[in-house]
Homo-oligomer: A and B are copies of this chain.
Amino acid sequence: MIRFECDYTTGAHPKILEALVSTNGESTPGYGVDEHCEHARDMLRALCQTPDAGVHFLVGGTQANTTVIAAILRPHQGVLCAETGHINVHESGAIEATGHKVLGLPASEGKITAGQIDLYCQEHFDNAAWEHMVQPGMVYLSLPTELGTVYTLAELEEISAVCRRRKLPLFVDGARLACGLAASDVTLPDLGRLCDVFYLGGTKAGLLFGEAVVITNPNIDHDFRYLIKQHGGMLAKGRLLGVQFEAFLEDGLFLDIGKKEVSQALRLRRAFEEKGYPLFVNSPTNQQFPVLPDGHMAALEKNYSFEVWEKTDEGHTAVRFCTSWSTADGDVDALIADIQKL
């Protein structure tokens, strides 16, 4: 079985693993206040051109999303996001468990627009019963989205401008940001400039685990470590995150991994397109969503694992293929050959 079901099927990129092994015997303080974490923080602040940002390393994405959102909202506020957003669909109600409604907006290929955000706020405050409704209190985007699509810099700038005018903190979930940087015109300094909070995901880009949360808004950063602890995210051997991010950020490894994930995925995409399969969504990143005839899907399932996304009509199904840091050229070659044979 060759696995394309997700981007976390294997362990760590060799450089990450090597960093963990070589530092294994060191003795450092716990909870992320060691020198590796401090160094990795400085590296990331420099890359983002945000010298005063708070940087916090967390183990996973749901933890990051929950902790950040809980830190931002007052009790009567909710978070605006695409109705397909991860926090709205695939976190088992983690946001609601902190007391907040997720305010899902209709999404186009996983994306929402500045105009939608603005209109939602307008209609909220124009409604005579406004105090009886959940107040929009922040905006959550994913870059790339859950469907692999990306926001352009122009779109992100427009969203950021509306958020600032509406006093809504903007939070970008970067679980797959390494791919997003490879496939969009958005850069880390852009994110540092336009967001209140964002994170650079490691789990889906070659770390064993880890997400680096960058907080440029000091009101949100204030006391943030209490919230990390409260949400179970204060890793005892916290330096494991610092050590991995040092290696990830060193010499642009994160960019290289992102580029490689994307290039392997685009090879698959071309094969699907050449075969004449429609694409469920126009994704430029490491998730590809061809719509397969059900018979072809069944044929591929014998040797490849991938995710069934949704039935598009009688006889066809959209599926998801993911590439990762460890996707081997040979595995992609094999799959492409098998696609051509269908």
A residues within 8 Å of B by Cβ? Answer: 2-3, 5-6, 8-12, 17, 20-21, 23-30, 59-63, 66-67, 70-71, 74-76, 78, 89-94, 96-102, 128-129, 131-135, 203-204, 208-209, 223, 225-227, 229-237, 240, 305, 307-308, 326
Contact = CB atoms under 8 A, between A and B. Distances in A.
Given A26-B11, A27-B326, A232-B66, A75 B98 contact: yes
A81 B309 CA distance: 25
Nearest to A94: B230
B99 A226 contact: no
B17 A90 contact: no
Listed residue (A26, A71, A96, A135) with the most chain B CB atoms within 10 angstroms of its CB: A96
A26 B9 CA distance: 8
B100 A93 contact: yes
Contacts of A11: 20, 23-26, 237, 240
Contacts of A10: 24-28, 237
Listed residue (A20, A24, A63) with the most chain B CB atoms within 10 angstroms of its CB: A24
Contacts of A25: 10-11, 326
Number of copies of this kind of chain in the complex: 4
A237 B225 contact: no
Contact of A76 (B29, B230, B305): B230
A203 B236 contact: yes
B236 A8 contact: yes
A236 B63 CA distance: 12
A226 B28 CA distance: 34
A25 B234 CA distance: 28
B97 A75 contact: yes
A229 B62 contact: yes
Contacts of A226: 76, 92, 131, 135
Contact of A29 (B5, B66, B74, B99): B5
Given A20-B11, A93-B230, A235 B59 contact: yes
16 contacts: A10-B25, A11-B26, A11-B240, A29-B305, A59-B59, A59-B235, A60-B232, A60-B234, A62-B232, A76-B223, A91-B229, A93-B101, A94-B232, A96-B100, A131-B225, A132-B229
A60 B230 CA distance: 12
Contact of A227 (B76, B98, B234, B326): B76
Contacts of A134: 92-93, 96
Nearest to A201: B236
A135 B97 CA distance: 13
B21 A21 contact: yes
Nearest to A225: B131
Given A131-B225, A209-B237, A30 B17 contact: no
Contacts of A70: 75
A8 to B, nearest CB: 4
A135 B10 CA distance: 29
A25 to B, nearest CB: 6
A74 B223 contact: yes
B128 A230 contact: no
B237 A203 contact: yes
A88 to B, nearest CB: 9
Contact of A9 (B29, B60, B90, B230): B29
